[in-house]
Structure 1
């Protein structure tokens, strides 16, 4: 009898262990907002599945590394990257030139996460309300980040290269520098609402510049609208650009796991949004930004939820 009870207990433990799904989620540097998002997703998956899905967050040095690792990782691998990098990897172009691999063709999307959103932030004291007004002003771009590179590109595209003074200050000091008049404005990219823009708007008073449709077309980036009221003193919508970011896996992931991850993500999104406002910018509209195919397990959820997919995503 004792042996039978022991065997039954062992079987029960084994069944419990097999029911638990473990996933590795590779995101970004631990100091970034995208790492914080990864932690929130891990917590949401555990809560939304009653512990059936356990997500381990793994730090990354960037999206290119995330894509490259898809060649060697297994069915428990989820990673984040802008969709354009997946497209480049499959074609063996740009930073993936000479590094192509058939495994890249097995990458499949799960769900969109907050986009990298461009903010051109000008102090009220500067009087600047459009890009032409930036001429002769002191602007902080930062160094090395996507926002810094993108900001410099836009200055060139809009005829401002060499016509603004670029401040040699770290982006982390943008708000104090704006408050004490060292700079007239700064450029930052991240999910919205951006914490440094929230602080600047609340303490200094700022105008976040909108781009015209012609300017957006020149950037070749995705148009994004930040709704009125997002930042203190913002009475109207802000039209800007963004770089979409998506959570991906590969065909090595089984359909059930992909379905469970996707379903739980969308069902928990409102709770995540109550804790961190950047999740409130994610909606069905971002699905159009997914380039390439969506994992069949995820596609099953989208069909159930009535979220339309394009032919190229199926």
Structure 2
């Protein structure tokens, strides 16, 4: 009787233990952008993909961010459950203690490691068809809305200066959220915006009024020192040809505090889920293996394991 009792108790304990392991989950905090932005929505979509792709073994909590600099800064105080997004160039600046990270350096920045690329920040120069503008030089004498405080606004100002248009263009004093209505009403000739493609505000503009989305020449792109990106024909209403423009790559990062198995599973699940993600939100279709070349610095060892298994070539600097 005592033997039977001990056996029963042992079996129950094993069952409880097995249930504990079966229900164990890895919790990740994903910090990307402001609520309402396309990058915040991407985070929501990634969280859903991770949960579905791992049968609930990985759950992702989305945390609002005020921007990429904040994301990088927090890497020095977060643990192994922290994933964040930022352009690779900012990681390099943080590790070198330069620019916005001057006098804010920390040894923890050296422990930042990449996982996988996400949709790039892509420059869109959206002009009304009535304006007759077909290239950047045609913006001379026109009214353009840049918005304020965003990457697109800063980058747009930079391009106007690079191409000698600063004093030749009237900058509309309005928020980017008003761009589509202002374009439709003829209050502006065009607007500049940056985001993943297809960009929601560009979709809206092209659907409501005839627009021309400008391409940059090879020489102009070289002068910007940004990455070339091609938006395929048909992405926006009335767009019959490819758009050649510039982009700023964006990558999902963590630190060496994350264990290799978790980094592996996150990376594998992302790539396994990408086709399904793209079916729901086309901006994921802009992510492919070619973007791996935009990752500067080291990739997490767990992610390296996945890329090795998948036959993805990595540089020596990335390993």
Do the structures match in fold with TM over 0.5? yes
Count of equivalent residues: 313
- Which residue number corresponds to residue 104 of structure 1? 109
* CA shift for structure 1 position 236: 1.2
Query: How many angstroms apart in 2 are the aligned matches of 1:215 and 1:29?
Result: 31
- Which residue number corresponds to residue 293 of structure 1? 298
Q: Does 1:68 align with 2:106?
A: no
SS at match of 1:242: strand
Q: Does 1:206 align with 2:240?
A: no
Gap runs ≥5 in structure 1? none
Q: Report the TM-score, using the length of structure 2 for normalisation.
A: 0.96
> Which residue of 10, 21, 25 corresponds with 1:15?
21
Query: How many angstroms apart in 1 are the aligned matches of 2:78 and 2:9?
Result: 41
* CA shift for structure 1 position 196: 1.1
- Which residue number corresponds to residue 234 of structure 2? 229
Query: How many angstroms apart in 2 are the aligned matches of 1:9 and 1:35?
Result: 40
* CA shift for structure 1 position 233: 1.3
SS at match of 1:56: strand
* CA shift for structure 1 position 234: 1.1
Query: How many angstroms apart in 1 are the aligned matches of 2:84 and 2:219?
Result: 33
- Which residue number corresponds to residue 93 of structure 2? 88
Query: How many angstroms apart in 1 are the aligned matches of 2:33 and 2:217?
Result: 31
- Which residue number corresponds to residue 246 of structure 2? 241
Gap runs ≥5 in structure 2? none
- Which residue number corresponds to residue 282 of structure 1? 287
User: 1:240-276: per-residue Cα shift (whole Å, max 9, x none)?
Assistant: 1111000001111111111100000001011111111
> Which residue of 248, 256, 268 corresponds with 1:251?
256
Query: How many angstroms apart in 2 are the aligned matches of 1:58 and 1:252?
Result: 19
User: 1:38-62: per-residue Cα shift (whole Å, max 9, x none)?
Assistant: 0100000000011011111111111
Q: Report the TM-score, using the length of structure 1 for normalisation.
A: 0.97
For residues 38-77 of structure 1, what are the structure 2 equivalents within 5 Å?
Answer: 38-77=43-82
- Which residue number corresponds to residue 34 of structure 1? 39
SS at match of 1:114: strand
SS at match of 1:312: coil
* CA shift for structure 1 position 17: 4.0
User: 1:164-195: per-residue Cα shift (whole Å, max 9, x none)?
Assistant: 11111211111111111011100000000011
Q: Does 1:169 align with 2:174?
A: yes
- Which residue number corresponds to residue 276 of structure 2? 271
> Which residue of 112, 119, 123 corresponds with 2:128?
123
- Which residue number corresponds to residue 309 of structure 1? 314
Query: How many angstroms apart in 2 are the aligned matches of 1:169 and 1:98?
Result: 35
SS at match of 1:311: coil
- Which residue number corresponds to residue 267 of structure 2? 262
* CA shift for structure 1 position 10: 2.7
User: 1:57-80: per-residue Cα shift (whole Å, max 9, x none)?
Assistant: 111111111111111111111110
- Which residue number corresponds to residue 84 of structure 2? 79
Query: How many angstroms apart in 2 are the aligned matches of 1:90 and 1:98?
Result: 11
SS at match of 2:317: helix
Query: How many angstroms apart in 2 are the aligned matches of 1:101 and 1:167?
Result: 41
Query: How many angstroms apart in 1 are the aligned matches of 2:130 and 2:240?
Result: 18
* CA shift for structure 1 position 14: 2.3
